[in-house]
Amino acid sequence: MKQNHKRIPIFDKLQQFTYTNPISFHVPGHKNGEIFPGQARTYFDSILKLDMTELHGLDDLHAPTEVIAEAEELAADFFDSDHTFFLVGGSTAGNLAMVLAACSPGEKIIVQRNCHKSVMNGLELSGAKPVFIAPEYDEAVDRYTSPSYSILKEALQKHSDAKAIVLTYPDYFGRTYPIKAMIDLAHSYNIPVFVDEAHGVHFTLGKPFPASALSLGADAVVQSAHKMAPAMTMASYLHLKSKFISKERIAHYLQIIQSSSPSYPLMASLDIARFFLAKMQTNELEHILQSVNGVRDILDSCDAWNVLPIEPEDDPLKITLHVKQFYSVQDVARLFEKENLYPELITHNQLLFIQGLKPFHKQDQLQKIVKRVGEQLKIKSNHDTIEIAKLFPEAIQELALSYQEMHARSYRRVPFDEGIEHIAAEAVIAYPPGIPIILKGERITAAHLAATRQLRNQGVRIQQRESGIKIYRK
């Protein structure tokens, strides 16, 4: 790091501005918080004072030259990128921009199949021709994680004309994999690698966290600062360090995707998140780690589940409870929620807890909660386990229709079982963590339907607006 990370340029400028008691004859309509109804005002008051617009001296996110440029430069210095973009539309905006910047209609892009839906949406918007690579079923953690090196190698041999590769690292549960070898392989084909590191903004801190994708050679990396660092929801970064993809191209798509009135509190929180991370000391990290190990032990004191052990490739801030088959994960989650303790996510067999970047001080309370949850938990009547390990029989897969063909066709909704052998006009996604069981544009198989039915029976939420499934007409 070359720069002075004690500076917080956007926040400082906004703060100075509030000291001048500015009179607002501009947007936003709350007039520096003066117009805001009732009780809500008490909560919003201080933040509304920072909720400015592009006034003189406050710069412009889409063409930054002053405080926003300065804040982005500080972030670039800390994260060691060539350029860092502040995002006010979450990693969602970053993923869309990366894909759009890489591909014109019909151009190939290799994509990890269990990617976030924003990547899928980027594919559809760009009209690219995706080549999906399936994740491996990771027996150690009993879920799908990442694609293997050999699958990527095979995909690259068949599709060396791909314009980019999109990988997710870490997965939602904080598990990483040897991504460097995959990046090096892609670079040997002169293909850039984009990484959705939405859950890994803190990896730049180094040990005990896994290495960041940017430090391992990725070309563009998106991180949700709001997920693991103290930033406001939607505040994210897009880091660029590539000879393959230009800053101008990414900037072009970001200004298309993102609001022309980006939120100053969000941008200031990105500035503050970088400041927070940059000032973190090794001893603080040690305290956090000790604390998370303590939390892990407490959570592990119930027989109804196991806490998955942490491997060197895992983010230690993520704690995964693997619920035994005699119990329902939904029941476990509801009992925790009854105690006002809210886990991050629930799958058919696991529950994810996330510790923040600070020590947790309510151990006694947690101990009591875990005990009460264990005592109230009842053995479920149906002990069936589901065989999702064979969800993706095709390791490398293309869609049955191009996005342009899909766009031109009409579709109809049919009962789920009648969808078999037709081409899906919508994705069927188990959410969270967002694994697409059926892709939009994919031919529906009996295995797809069986997997969807089983997951649904297990209480997994399938993200669909209506029942049945949309299929394309011939």
Q: What is d(CA 152, CA 187) in angstroms, rounded to the nearest whole number?
A: 12
Instruction: Specify the stretch interacting with ligand PLP by CB under 6 A; choose among 9-17, 88-96, 268-276, 397-405.
Output: 88-96
Site size toward ligand PLP (CB under 6 A) is 12
The nearest distance, CB 95 to ligand PLP, in angstroms, is 6
The nearest distance, CB 122 to ligand PLP, in angstroms, is 11
ω into 432 cis (within 30 of 0):
yes
The nearest distance, CB 97 to ligand PLP, in angstroms, is 12
Among 204, 212, 236, 269, interactor with ligand PLP by CB under 6 A: 236
Instruction: Specify the stretch interacting with ligand PLP by CB under 6 A; choose among 18-26, 91-99, 385-393, 448-456.
Output: 91-99
C-alpha closest to that of 422 among 444, 446, 450, 438:
444
For ligand PLP, the closer of residues 133 and 469 by Cβ is 133
Residue 25: helix, strand or coil by DSSP?
Answer: coil
DSSP run (H or E) holding 251: helix 247-257
What tokens does 379 get? 């053995």
Interaction mask 184-223, ligand PLP, x per CB under 6 A: ------------x-x-------------------------
Among 32, 112, 224, 452, interactor with ligand PLP by CB under 6 A: 224
For ligand PLP, the closer of residues 328 and 350 by Cβ is 350
Residues forming beta bridges with residue 320, ordered by sequence position: 352
C-alpha closest to that of 332 among 318, 348, 317, 316:
348
Among 32, 81, 84, 91, interactor with ligand PLP by CB under 6 A: 91
Residue 430 lies near ligand PLP (rule: CB under 6 A) = no
Residues forming beta bridges with residue 137, ordered by sequence position: 144
Longest dimension (CA), the chain: 67
What tokens does 194 get? 């984009």
Q: How far is CA 188 from CA 156, 157, 191, 193, 378, in A?
A: 10, 12, 7, 11, 55
Instruction: Specify the stretch interacting with ligand PLP by CB under 6 A; choose among 71-79, 89-97, 186-194, 252-260.
Output: 89-97
Which amino acid is it at 329? V
Residues forming beta bridges with residue 469, ordered by sequence position: 414
The nearest distance, CB 66 to ligand PLP, in angstroms, is 26
Residues 160-179 within binding reach of ligand PLP (CB under 6 A): 168, 172
The nearest distance, CB 72 to ligand PLP, in angstroms, is 18
The nearest distance, CB 176 to ligand PLP, in angstroms, is 13
Query: Residue number with the shortest CB distance to ligand PLP?
Result: 90
Among 9, 33, 64, 90, interactor with ligand PLP by CB under 6 A: 90
The nearest distance, CB 118 to ligand PLP, in angstroms, is 5
The nearest distance, CB 378 to ligand PLP, in angstroms, is 31
Q: What is d(CA 251, CA 237) in angstroms, rounded to the nearest whole number?
A: 13
Torsion of CA 14, 19, 25, 28, to 10 degrees: 40
Q: What is d(CA 208, CA 176) in angstroms, rounded to the nearest whole number?
A: 13
CA-based end-to-end distance of the chain:
58
Residue 112 lies near ligand PLP (rule: CB under 6 A) = no
Instruction: Specify the stretch interacting with ligand PLP by CB under 6 A; choose among 86-94, 158-166, 264-272, 414-422.
Output: 86-94
Residue 116 lies near ligand PLP (rule: CB under 6 A) = yes
Residue with tokens 């037709």: 422
DSSP string, 72-129: HHHHHHHHT-SEEEEESSHHHHHHHHHHHHH--TT-EEEEETT--HHHHHHHHHHT-E
The nearest distance, CB 18 to ligand PLP, in angstroms, is 28
Residue 118 lies near ligand PLP (rule: CB under 6 A) = yes
For ligand PLP, the closer of residues 108 and 175 by Cβ is 175
The nearest distance, CB 351 to ligand PLP, in angstroms, is 16
For ligand PLP, the closer of residues 49 and 199 by Cβ is 199
Q: What is d(CA 267, CA 225) in angstroms, rounded to the nearest whole number?
A: 11
Q: What is d(CA 58, CA 245) in angstroms, rounded to the nearest whole number?
A: 29
Binding site for ligand PLP (CB under 6 A): 90-92, 95, 116, 118, 168, 172, 196, 198, 224, 236
